[in-house]
Each structure stands twice: as C-alpha cells, then as structure tokens.
Chain A
Amino acid sequence: MAAIRTENLTKNFRQIRAVQGLDLTVDTGEVFGYLGPNGAGKTTTIRLLLDFLRPTAGTATVLGGAPADPAVRRRIGFLPADLSVDPRYTTRDLLDFYGALRGGHDPAWVDALLQRFDLDPNRRFGELSTGNRRKLGLIQAFAHRPELLLLDEPTSGLDPLLQAEFARLIREMTSFGATIFLSSHVLPEVEELAGRVGILRQGELIKVATVEDLRAEARARLELRLAEPALEGVFDGVPGVVEARTEGSTIHLVVEGSMDPVIKRAATLPVVRLITHEADLEEVFLSYYAGDGNAR
C-alpha cells in the first residue's frame, strides 16, 4: 500500500494555481525527495496532505485514510518549514503537550532524541536559536515514532554535524519501515537520502525519477591529456558527446549518458592522463527548474 497517493490534486488560491493536477505515489518505506524552487508548491502539497488546506480538486490519501482523520494524523510526524510555538514553552512543555495529544510518547526514545540533537529540554522556545528551534522541530516530529514523516525543508539551518545526525535518524526510521517525504529547494540536501525524487515547477510535477536515473541523465565532464597535440574533430560523431573542445594537447569533453563509446574512441589516442569530474546532478536538476527539462 502506498503511504501517500494523490490523484489530480489541485489547489488554487484565488488566481494563483499553487498545485496543479498532482498525481503522486509515495511507497511505504521509501525516502522521497520533493524538490522545487521556492514557491513551486512544495509546502502547499504538504499542507494538503495534513488537511490544513482543502483541495480545489482531486484527492489525497495518506496512510490509507483521509488527512482529516485524527487516527491518520496520529501516525504522521510533521516538521514545518518554520516551527512557531508559544515562546514561553520549554522544549519539555511542548513535547509533553504533544505527547498527551498523541496518547503518550516513549520517554526513553524522546530523551534519546534530545541527547542525539543535544537540546536542553528546559529552555524556553523564545530563547532558542534558529538551529535549536530546528532541532526541536525535528524532535517533535519524530517523538511518537510516526509511520510517515512529512518534513518541509528539514536540513536548512542545521550545521553539518547535525545534518549527519539527521541522516542517521532518517535511515534508522526507514529501517523500521517508516516512509519519509522531504521537501527541499536544493538537490544535494536530499540526494544522499532519497531513493526517488519528484521535481515540482510552478505547481506541476514535471519529473519523478530515482536518483540513479537522474545521475544517468547527468552530463559528465572529461579531460583527456594526450602525449601529442590533439586533433580537432577526433570525437566528432561519437554517441553521447555533447561538446568537444581542443586546447593544445588537452581535449575537454562533455558526455551525456553512457561513457562506453567515448572510452573506445579514446583508446585509439595516446592518453597520458584521464581526468573525470563528478557527474553534475545539480545541473540536471537546475535544467528542470529553468524549464528546458521538458525537452529531454
């Protein structure tokens, strides 16, 4: 059974079409990266999945039920993009309050989370730094060991150490079978965690792919250093070569897709050094943002 299934999910705010005809399926147990620039409709989607907004058209099914059903929301953990609570609440107050509403937290698990994220439960929300508020947001989202986590920009504001802790926690949760839905406006934040990503632009889901497929789409940059001055046009007609530029005895190549034909051709040349640059996933991603992604 899918953890999240939307059919033609649409939300308009007066003239603004925030989410249009969204058909999205997130399987139980997967980590799904929900990507798009600011204003693409990521937060609107999450708010629809939690019944904060009512769809203009279409339906959303979460954990097999309706988002409005409290029994469904009991099994969901939600991290808002910017958590706001009464500034007088301490972390402990908030966790106790939410715990009571959820029918009780496991105190050992909550204490472990507080330790992992190094958050003092006795400080008031109003005194917490942005980073600490972020930590509290994560802890309250994970505190009841939800089956589905809806995380809106989870890693923004976390330092690298905490990002690593966050990644460990996500892996731990998925090992228990939890489903993670995380939004971000940059790919690297979700690339390491997500199995699949969906790319949203102006309210429309324009691409759903595994991270591997995106990588395959990525253009690799290659540098061949030869023992002799390179000839122009030696890579002409080789499949996958998007760009070939010669500079003295060096050939710069941009390759899309399989590297095999390029290597075969390179084998005919006196190669001294072969320098490859990491497949640039971000570039693929940005091309979808910019709108030329549809052409592929």
Chain B
Amino acid sequence: MIVATRLIRDRLRGLLWWSVGMIGLVLLTVAFYPAVKDQGQALNDLLNTLPDAFKSAIGYDARIPLTSPPGYLNARLFAILAPVLALIFAIGVGAQAIGGLEEADRMEPLLANPITRKRLAVERYAATVALLVGLIAVLAAASVVLSAPFGALEGVSIAGLVGACAAVGCLAMFHGSIAFAVGAATGRRGPAIGAATVVAVAGYLIQSLQPLTDLLDPFRFVNPWHWYLQRNMLVDGVPPEAVLGPLGVSAVLLAVGVAIFRRRDLR
C-alpha cells in the first residue's frame, strides 16, 4: 500500500483543514439550537406555511418538529450542509486520484516504477475512500460530542446519528467514485469534477421536486439523494439502500474506471 499511504500523507494537511471546517459547521449548527428551541411553536407554524418543495429541501418532516433536536439537526446539518461539504471533498479527492495526477504530468514518472496501472488506481482509490472515512469520522465525533452541551442530542440515538454520518459518507463516496472513474477514463480533472457535480446537482433537484410532480418518479429509485433523504435517519434509522446503494455503485464505478485506465494510452 505504498502508493495509498503516500497519497494519504500528501492529503493529510488538506484533510486537517476540511476537518476544521466540518467541526466549525457542526459547532455553529448546534450552538444555535437553544435559540431555535426557544422560538418553539412560532417557528413550526411559520414553516407549515412554506411550500412543500422548500420543506422537503430542508428535510422537514411533519411528525418531527423542526424545533426538536432530531428535526433541527436533520434540517440544519444533514439535509444539505454536511453532505454538500462531504461531497465537495470527495469529488475533489476522487478527481485528483487519477485525472488530476495525470493532467499535471505526474502520472508517467510514477508509473515508470515497478507498479501496474491496476495497483496504482486501486491504491489511489483506497486512499480516497480512507480520506473520506477520516472526514466522516470527524463529522460523527463532532456531532456526538458537540451536540450534547447545547441540548441538541435529546431524543437522538447515538447509533442513529453515527449512522446518518455514515450515510453522508456513502453519498459522498458515490459522487467521489464518479469523479474517480471519469478521471481514470479521461486522464483529466475538469471532466471528472464536472460529471460528478452534474450528477449531484441533478440528483438533488430531482429529489427536491419530488413533492411537486410525479414525472420524475422513475428516477427516484436510482437517485442516491432519494436513498439518503427519504427519511429522518436520526429518528427512523438509516435505510439500507442509503449505504448499500452507494457502495454497490461505487464498486461498479471503480471496476469500470480501472478497466478503462488499464487499457488506454496515458495523456
């Protein structure tokens, strides 16, 4: 795992900064919880007047008041911000794994060494996943540790919270794997980031339009955002497809990306 450990070391400083950002996000979110809780019913009434699309976009669930800890954490942290942050990280690292390395002309000196392309690609993918796991571990630890002092952990199971963080990681891995595979196929970073971003935005739009139209229903069941956002995981637990779906698709993307990378010319 020489290639993988080298990549992890190269990215450790970056991961540190991303971790600081993630901790900051969690801290800011939970620190405002006491103020939101005090607003109580007034805020819930206001939210009930909002359009359905907006409510779904912020992870609103009629059974779970937004002023309750699971409602608040889900809406403020897990519905958009934490997954978007994790996605940006994963897409960036995934696009760099092969596409970015090759575009910067750093692939050939590395491949002149006695390693196969397959080994290089698999190790750099493994490192990408390991870095993402690191960031998700920080998210989980920060959520658990920082929520309690602000009373934002009442009614939230630790398992549910950690599970939700894992689901964030899986969603990010799905998109990071797209960036990896497109980078492996093209040897370029731009298309890798572009493809993964388009898929992410399209998936999110389809999911948020779901309450307004059933035209997009056929896409729902293959939409990772649907797997991820379909219910409040802090109360109802993680749906299996939110984990298994991204893992399965990522495995396929890895296999396809590596297969193309092994066969093509370097740029």
Contacts and interface: CB of A to CB of B under 8 A. Distances in A.
Interface of A: 47, 50-54, 68, 70-71, 73-74, 76, 78, 80, 82-86, 88, 97-98, 100-103, 140
A50 B106 contact: no
B265 A84 contact: no
A86 B106 contact: yes
Interface of B: 2-3, 6, 10, 104-106, 108-109, 111-116, 263-266
Contacts of B105: 80, 82, 84
A70 B114 contact: yes
Which one of B111, B113, B115 has the greatest number of beta carbons of chain A within 10 Å?
Answer: B113
B10 A86 contact: yes
A84 B109 contact: yes
A103 B2 CA distance: 11
Contacts of B112: 50, 73, 76, 78, 80
A88 B112 CA distance: 20
Contacts of A103: 114
A88 B10 CA distance: 8
Nearest to B5: A100
Nearest to A137: B109
Given A52-B266, A54-B265, A85-B109, A97 B2 contact: yes
B266 A84 contact: no
A68 B262 CA distance: 10
Nearest to A78: B112
Contacts of A80: 105, 108-109, 112
Contact of A47 (B6, B10, B108): B108
A101 B266 contact: no
B2 A73 contact: no
A101 B113 CA distance: 7
A65 to B, nearest CB: 12
Given A82-B105, A88-B10, A97-B2, A102 B265 contact: no
B109 A53 contact: no
B266 A53 contact: yes
Given A47-B266, A86-B10, A52 B108 contact: yes
Nearest to A82: B105
Contact of A101 (B2, B104, B106, B263): B2
B114 A50 contact: no
A171 to B, nearest CB: 23
Nearest to A73: B114
A2 B113 CA distance: 21
A20 B3 CA distance: 35
B106 A53 contact: no
Contacts of B10: 86, 88
Nearest to B3: A101
A140 to B, nearest CB: 8
Contacts of B116: 68, 70
